[in-house]
Amino acid sequence: MHGTKQNSFTTPVPMASQTAGFTSMAAATGYSGAGVSGGPATTPGILATLLGLTVLYVVWGILQKAHDGIREQVQPRNIAHNVHNFLTITLTVIIGLVITKIVIAKLAGWGIPGMTPVATVVDAA
pLDDT on residue 51: 86
pLDDT on residue 3: 57
| Domain match, 44 and 66 both | yes
Give residue 114's region: left, alpha or beta (phi > 0; psi -120 to 50).
left
| Domain match, 85 and 125 both | yes
Q: Looking at the DSSP assignment, which residues form a beta bridge with residue 13?
A: 5
| Domain match, 115 and 84 both | yes
In terms of Cα–Cα distance, which of 43, 16, 44, 42 is closest to 29?
16
In which domain, by residue range, is 11 found?
1-31
Spatial separation of the C-alpha atoms in residues 58 and 50, rounded to whole Å: 12
pLDDT on residue 112: 87
| Domain match, 89 and 121 both | yes
Count the domains in the chain.
Answer: 3
| Domain match, 124 and 89 both | yes
Give residue 22's region: left, alpha or beta (phi > 0; psi -120 to 50).
beta
pLDDT on residue 21: 54
pLDDT, averaged per 10 consecutive residues of the chain (125 residues), comes to 54 54 55 54 74 88 83 75 87 87 89 87 74
| Domain match, 51 and 88 both | no
| Domain match, 21 and 49 both | no
| Domain match, 42 and 25 both | no
| Domain match, 85 and 120 both | yes
pLDDT on residue 42: 57
Share of the chain above pLDDT 90, in %: 1
pLDDT on residue 118: 86
| Domain match, 84 and 69 both | no
